Amino acid sequence: MNGDDARDGNGTEGTPTDSELSARLRRLETQIERKRPQAAADPSTRPRTNGSSSLGQAMTLSTEFVAGVIAGGVLGWIVDHVFGTKPWGLIVLLMLGFVAGVYNVMRVSGFSGARPERRDRQEP
């Protein structure tokens, strides 16, 4: 590197032009892209396959169960007050509400034979 070498940056002979540098940069970028391993898709941009998130599914399942138990309890309390069967209406209908809640959770999650209707599916 004595100063006359074009690669040391001091000489003006052989200095590449802007268009040559741009072409080299493009070639380098394509070579890097070819050698770079394919990155995994970003979870935030990945399309959802089932239409709802895991948190949404968990909330749906818990809501189905709790709604069955609460409905059974409320109906049992009403039956007890109307017919005067103090603890038995509440006990029986609370148990039925529990069973209904478990059945709804199984139905929504797909563990039973009955599949829920998909609301987001459009008929042709």
Give pLDDT tens digits for 36-46: 887 666 655 55
Q: Give residue 31's identity as a one-letter amino acid code.
A: Q
Could you list the residue range(s) of the whole structural domain that residue 87 is in? 54-109
| Strand, coil or helix: 15 | coil
Sequence-ordered list of residues with C-beta below 8 angstroms from that of 46, at least 6 positions apart, any chain: none
Distance, in Å, from the CA atom of 80 to the CA atom of 91, rounded to the nearest integer, reads: 10
Per-residue model confidence (pLDDT) at position 16: 87
Burial of 64 (0-12, 13-18, 19+ CB in 10 A): buried
Residue 69: inside a domain:
yes
Residue 94: inside a domain:
yes
| Number of domains into which the chain is organized | 1
* pTM, two decimal places: 0.51
Indicate whether 5 pLDDT > 60.
no
- Mean pLDDT throughout 7-25? 78
Residue 119: inside a domain:
no
Per-residue model confidence (pLDDT) at position 42: 60
Tell me phi and psi for residue 12, to 5 degrees.
-100, -15
pLDDT in tens, 89-117: 999 999 999 999 999 999 988 887 665 56
